[in-house]
Each structure stands twice: as structure tokens, then as C-alpha cells.
Amino acid sequence: GLEGFPHYMLKEIYEQPDSLTAAMRGRLSDVDATAVFGGLNLTPQQLRNVNRIVLTACGTSWHAAMVGEYLIEELARIPVEVEYASELRYRNPPVEQGTLLFALTQSGETADTLAALREMKRKGHPSLAICNVVGSTIAHEADGGVYLHAGPEIGVASTKAYTSQVAVMTMLALYFGRLRHLSYEAGQRIITQLRKLPDLVRETLEVNGEVRRIAAKYAHANNFLYLGRQFNFPTALEGALKLKEISYIHAEGYPAAEMKHGPIALVDQHTPSVFLMPQGGVYDKVMSNLEEIKARGGPVIAIAAKGDKEIARLADDVIYVPVVEEFLSPLINIVPLQLLAYHVAVHRGCDVDKPRNLAKSVTVE
């Protein structure tokens, strides 16, 4: 049941501290400073020989795969490609030996994702699933994989499955990193950070009231831009998709610096831009992208780290979230964007849990 929540989507957003705990349960080893997975079904030799990883998925799961690309390349230094399943199934790309496929899917029933998995399996590449629904078709056909253990996701717009997928991607990056160059100390540090995550997400949920206020202010806009860089470029894509799906407002996610190559033409006083501004290497760069938008009269909503004093001077509205290391920031920053999409949709009177034209699992191609 809804347990007092007005919609499943909001309930599932609030379940994230628990679903993240479940995703990590039994999968972090202090002794070896690594992640452990029971069901990869690959020999140590096969695992050591992985020199390329292909991630395939659709929609929100594809965004989780994009975060995975940044994480695995950064922590494990293995080249990663992210492919839309609908493209991969017909594209016939050259795939070298030593390539491992992961199909990411909440439902385990998405037709294109299943076809992409079958195609890679047919070519002899180990093909694993990162899946939520136990016993689903993709979980069954894959050579092995990792379950999310997020519990049933009823809202059509995916929320808790997304953060669980990103958490699994982080643990896989740790795992492959520790098979290679990542030191014991570095592994231990990542584990310590991961363990704090559920409480940090709980703390992040405290922005709900503030987000509802901001949502009311912008609910009548016809266009939104979502901008972020590096680990949070996929967060921008996912934030935009959430808004599109449930509020029917046109929204685009972009890597912040791509703005000036076209989309900046859209900016006017009626087009809000949502900026992802975590502390870290590209903060100053994102800030100058933000200034470009302000200079053209565009309203700016910033998702920034607590303690950031500079941002309040420039952004019209700021949502402050807990400070985390950059590689974990996608898991924190997506929470206010889920809430923003939710409150805008409620404000506009949309059917949040059953948006028009969409189905929970897309079993036709």
C-alpha cells in the first residue's frame, strides 16, 4: 500500500535510504577492501581478462549506465561504452575479446534490452544483468548478474531502481578497481563513503519542503534545461527525463559547457535552468556556465553543496544538499530532481504514478 504517501512515486523516493542499504547488504568486504558479488558466474581468469565493458539499457537505466561509465573508467581504468539497447541490437559493432556486457534493467522485461543481451551472448561475450525483478526474462537469460533488491517499484517513473543501479555501478567499479590497480586503502575509503550513503540520502530528503516551494514557482514554465558536468552530466539527463515523463514539460539535459553550442538560444526569462553544482574539480567551470545563463536573463535553480556561499549570490533558488565526494554526488543530487519533477507534476494536476502514453515495462520494440 501507499503507507500514507499520496503517490507511489513519492513513497519510492522516500524509500531510497532503505533500498540503497539493501543494494549494499552483504556486498562490502572490509577484509579485502572490495565489493563482493555472489552471482557473476565468471571464473577468476575471465574476470582478470576483462579489458572492455559494454553497458546497455534503455531510458532511466541507460542514465545509470552513463554514471557507470564515469565510475568504472575513473576507479577501475577499464574502457567502458554505453549503448542504447535499441541501437546495439541492430548496430553490429566490432566487439573485441575480453569484452564483458552488463544489461541494466529494472523490470528485466524490456524488449530491446533483452534483444541486445541475446545478440551479445550469441557472439560469445559474457553477458550479465543488473536487474531488480527476480526471475524476470533478462535475469533468467543472462549468464549471471547482480540483483538490486530495491523491492517492487510501482510508480512508472523510475526512482529507487535508478539509485540502486548507480550504487551497484559504484560497487562494480570498486570491484574491478581492486582486481587491478586500486590500493587496499583506496578501497577502504570508498567502502567507508558508501556506508554513509543511506544516511546522507535521508538527510537530502529534508529538502522536500523547499523543493515543493520552488516547484510551485516554476510549475508554469514550458521548457526547462538541466545542466551538469562529469559525474553529474547523466544526473542532468535523468532530471530532465523525470520532469518530461510526469509533468509533460519539455526539458533537456546537457553537459553544461555544451550550452553555448546551441541550446543557449532557448534561454529567456521563462526558461529555468537547473544547475548541478557539487564541490569538486569542475565547480568553477560550471559556475561560469551558470553566469552565461544569468547574463541572458534565464532563471537558475542550483543544486549545491551545504556551505557553498558563492552560489546564493548568483542563483535565483538554491537547494542545498550534503557534501560528498564527487563520485557519490550523482546519488545525492538526483534526489532533489526527483522531488522537483514530482511536485511540479502534482502542481499541474498530472497523474504522477500513471503518466500518459507510458507503461512500466516496455515489452515491445
Interaction of residue 56 with ligand F6R, rule CB under 6 A: no
Smallest separation, CB 87 to ligand F6R (Å) = 14
Q: Which is nearer to ligand F6R, 63 or 178 (CB)?
A: 63
Strands 127-131 and 144-147: parallel
Yes or no: say if 165 and 61 are a contact pair by the CB < 8 Å rule: yes
Smallest separation, CB 266 to ligand F6R (Å) = 23
Subset of residues 178 to 197 that bind ligand F6R, contact rule: CB under 6 A: none
Q: Which is nearer to ligand F6R, 238 or 308 (CB)?
A: 238
Contact residues for 169 (Cβ-Cβ < 8 A; gap 6+): 64, 65, 67, 68, 71, 72, 130
Helix axes 59-76, 233-247, angle to 10 degrees: 170
Q: Which is nearer to ligand F6R, 21 or 361 (CB)?
A: 361
Choose the stretch contacting ligand F6R; rule: CB under 6 A; options: 75-83, 104-112, 189-197, 344-352.
104-112
Interaction of residue 86 with ligand F6R, rule CB under 6 A: no
Yes or no: say if 28 and 195 are a contact pair by the CB < 8 Å rule: yes
Choose the stretch contacting ligand F6R; rule: CB under 6 A; options: 27-35, 106-114, 142-150, 184-192.
106-114
Q: Which is nearer to ligand F6R, 85 or 259 (CB)?
A: 85
Interaction of residue 110 with ligand F6R, rule CB under 6 A: yes
- The single residue among 86, 106, 204, 230 that binds ligand F6R, judged by CB under 6 A, is 106
Smallest separation, CB 106 to ligand F6R (Å) = 4
- The single residue among 47, 266, 314, 362 that binds ligand F6R, judged by CB under 6 A, is 362
Q: Looking at this protein, which amino acid is placed at residue 67? A: V
Identify the CA nearest to 165 among candidates 233, 109, 100, 238.
238
* Alpha carbon distance 18, 21 (integer Å): 5
Query: Nearest to ligand F6R by Cβ — which residue?
Result: 59
- The single residue among 17, 59, 126, 234 that binds ligand F6R, judged by CB under 6 A, is 59
For 348: left if phi > 0, alpha if psi spans -120 to 50, otherwise beta; the answer is alpha
Yes or no: say if 244 and 238 are a contact pair by the CB < 8 Å rule: no
- The single residue among 143, 245, 308, 353 that binds ligand F6R, judged by CB under 6 A, is 245
Identify the CA nearest to 250 among candidates 271, 280, 277, 276.
271
* Alpha carbon distance 344, 339 (integer Å): 8
Size of interface with ligand F6R, in residues (CB under 6 A): 15
C-alpha grid cell, residue 3: 503507507
DSSP 354: S
Choose the stretch contacting ligand F6R; rule: CB under 6 A; options: 9-17, 92-100, 101-109, 200-208.
101-109
Q: How far is CA 72 from the centre of its chain?
A: 14
Q: Which is nearer to ligand F6R, 142 or 277 (CB)?
A: 142
* Alpha carbon distance 123, 314 (integer Å): 53
Q: What is the four-CA torsion angle of 143, 146, 151, 152, rounded to 10 degrees?
A: -40
Interaction of residue 60 with ligand F6R, rule CB under 6 A: yes
Q: Annotated catalytic, 360?
A: yes
Total number of residues shown for the chain: 365
Smallest separation, CB 164 to ligand F6R (Å) = 11
Active site residues: 360
Residues that bind ligand F6R (CB under 6 A): 58-61, 105-107, 110, 113, 157-158, 241, 245, 361-362
